[in-house]
Structure 1
Amino acid sequence: MNSTLPNRQVKPIHVLLVEDNIVEARLLQEMLRDSKVSTFEVTRVERLAEAVETAKNDRFDVILLDLSLPDASGIETFRRLHHAVDRTPIVVLTGLEDETIALTALQEGAQDYLTKQFADIHVIDRAVRYAVQRKQAEAERLELIRAQDEQARELLVEQAARREAEKANELKMRFLAMISHELRTPLSSIKGFVSTLLADDVEWDLETQQNFLRIIEQEADKLTELVEQLLDLARLEAGTLRIEAEAHSLEKIFELAAPQLVVVTSEHKLEIAPVSQLPAVLADPLRIAQVLVNLVNNAAQSAPAGTVITIEAHARAGQIQIDVRDEGRGIPEDLRPFVFEAFRQGQDNVSKGKGMGLGLAICKGIVEAHGGSIWVGENEGPGAVISFTLPVAVEEPA
């Protein structure tokens, strides 16, 4: 039941009156209509269920709620309505005998309460207006807190992004310094031996000349390897590294890697478990051979001379898992998340005089480009184990 009360030059206050007693309801409506201060538009319902439905469908500035209704009574009347429309201020209407319940409602979120026997137009007008104002003030306060929280979150995100950018820039500068060092060292060696060979004031015997040339060749190979690693890393980051994946047996891939594996494990014992019974993998054999060599070379740098480096493989859920295990010092738990990051790994390795350490970052990129994954595994004994997976080929290898 809607009643539009006389227009005044103010924005009307929309009131939902929840009162089943028709006499008391009319009295309240008449008092609101006679207000000289505010303009009220009143919608009346008689039951709590109607109040919940009406309040959800229409926007009201305030609800006047009688606590004794046909379908609810006592404090539960308030609780159910407040739970359904917690953003709308509620003023409780009560009799003399219900003031204790009304005070409980105030503690639980009601804006005010009115004792019907003592309510007049001035009391009702003031209670309704104050309830609306308090609710608006509370909403503004919560909005201000929300805005401050959002601003604080944005500031935290900005600070975190700035720290990450500064960290990335620092790592980049370290990386550039490491590259300069790694390029300068072999170049200085090459220049030094060439200058020595070209010197006019001394003659070198054939054996010494050949020894100098072998050193020059070795340093040139180091430069070539470094440049190739940097190019591979750049291609991986740009997504342009070519991967020609076809069905191949692990035996074939291991055969491709064998010559280099022999070189990098010249001071270690390399053991390769049989793989002839395993299914073929979908892989680029040259790239996966490169992964194997990098992993074994990394193990050889970490493990003492004379210790065993093992390569094992086994099938698991449509994939082949390959493990490279050594008997070195292992990888500390706190460093494992950074093992496959080129810049961090490079910093660690350079400080130990073992090169840029780009190999593991390249391994990660190549394996993931094949649809596999790579990680630091748990080793039962001393040393470290790095594992990676490759998808099993659907077709048999050619």
Structure 2
Amino acid sequence: MTHIPVHILLLEDSPSDADLMRQVFVRSGKTAWNLVCTERLSQAIVRCQEQMFDVVLLDLNLPDSDGFETIATFREAVPSVPIVVLTTIDDDDLAMQAMAKGAQDYLVKGQITIQLLIRSVRYAIERGRFLERLKNSEQSILRSLEQEQDLDLLKSSFISMASHELRSPITMIRICTELLQNHQHELSAEKSSEYFDHMKAAIKQITGLLDEVLLLSSAESGGLRFKPVSEAVCK
């Protein structure tokens, strides 16, 4: 049986950590892992322009980039490749911020096992594919709404995908709530406000998904009418 290789870009400036990750993938089983390693963010961006990767394992602290700016810079240059953040710090706050910046998952180097790494990589890849399907589905839904075709099937598919996508903002709300509840007296006013801002952003994301579901439902029930209008545009 032929196994489709999984193409992984490892962005890690520590040779020992990079070698450890290679050994983990070698021992991980039958999946064909194609691992490419780079030490600098600039090199990683160039490699992604030259080759398609299924996921990137990204260390936040690199010679040419540091902290969450690493995620932001990479995401701006490479918007579609899923990111799993690698760090030495076990902190829910950092994990939450990494997800807010666009990462799919967050792993602590000293706690990585074969099972945890493989599960995280597969989750990031599947979530990245899901987001791409969701984007394509939204575009397809708009086209189908205009043509008034296959609304029932599209609604069912979209709602199913939207329900999965709700998990990320709900998880962020849960983390913020737990931090505020359990560490309220230890948090500064600025940090508490930051958590509330994360919660507001997550609620806004949820509301947007629900609005799209309601829009589709309204179109199906006949509450939404399409009235093409011819307009002359003058420059």
TM-score (norm. length: structure 1) = 0.37
1:83 offset after TM fit, Å? 1.2
Identify the structure with the greater strand proportion: 1
1:144 is matched with 137
From 20, 35, 53, the equivalent of 1:42 is: 35
- Does structure 1 residue 67 correspond to structure 2 residue 60? yes
**C-alpha displacement of 1:101:** 3.1
Measured against aligned partners, the alpha-carbon deviations of 1:116-170 in whole angstroms (never above 9, x if no partner) come to 0000111111100111011111211211111011222345xxx657x99xxxxxx
Which of 49, 58, 72 matches 1:56?
Answer: 49
Q: TM-score, normalised by structure 2?
A: 0.61
User: How far does the alpha carbon of each residue in 1:69-122 deviate from its partner, in whole angstroms, 9 at most, with x for none?
Assistant: 000110001110011111000000011266633320112221101100000111
Cα distance in 2 between the residues matched to 1:160 and 1:57? 45
Structure 1 residues 132 and 9, CA gap change in structure 2 (3 angstroms):
same
Partner of 2:3: 10
Q: Is the 8 A contact 2:71 2:102 kept in 1?
A: no
Which residue does 2:159 correspond to in 1? none
Give distance in 1, aligned partners of 2:39 and 2:64: 9
Structure 2 counterpart of 1:28, from 15, 21, 36: 21
- Which of the numbers 148, 153, 175 marks the counterpart of 2:146? 153
Q: CA deviation at 1:17?
A: 0.4
Pairing of 1:196-215 with structure 2 (within 5 A): none
Q: Does 1:92 align with 2:94?
A: no
Question: What CA deviation, in whole Å up to 9, does each residue of 1:51-86 have, x standing for no partner?
Answer: 111112210000000001000110001110011111
Stretches of structure 1 lacking an aligned partner (at least 5 in a row): 1-7, 165-336, 338-398
Structure 1 letter corresponding to 2:12: E
Equivalent AA in structure 2 for residue 77 of structure 1: T
* 1:177-226 Cα deviation digits (max 9, x unpaired): xxxxxxxxxxxxxxxxxxxxxxxxxxxxxxxxxxxxxxxxxxxxxxxxxx
- 2:117 matched to 1:124? yes
- Kindly indicate whether the alpha-carbon contact (under 8 Å) linking 2:90 and 2:108 is maintained by their aligned counterparts in 1: no
**Partner AA of 2:129 in structure 1:** Q
Shift of 1:9: 3.0
Cα distance in 2 between the residues matched to 1:23 and 1:128: 20
Note the alpha carbon deviations across 1:221-280, whole angstroms, 9 max, x for none: xxxxxxxxxxxxxxxxxxxxxxxxxxxxxxxxxxxxxxxxxxxxxxxxxxxxxxxxxxxx
1:142 counterpart SS class: helix
Amino acid at match of 1:60: F
Amino acid at match of 1:66: D
The DSSP-based 3-state class of the residue aligned with 1:43 is: strand
Query: Which of 1 and 2 has higher RCO (CA within 8 Å, sep 6+)?
Result: 2
Contact 2:10–2:37 (8 Å) recurs in 1: yes
Between the aligned partners of 1:124 and 1:9, the Cα distance in structure 2 is 23
CA RMSD of aligned residues (A): 2.4
Point out where structure 2 has 5 or more consecutive residues left out of the alignment: 149-225
Q: Percent identity?
A: 33
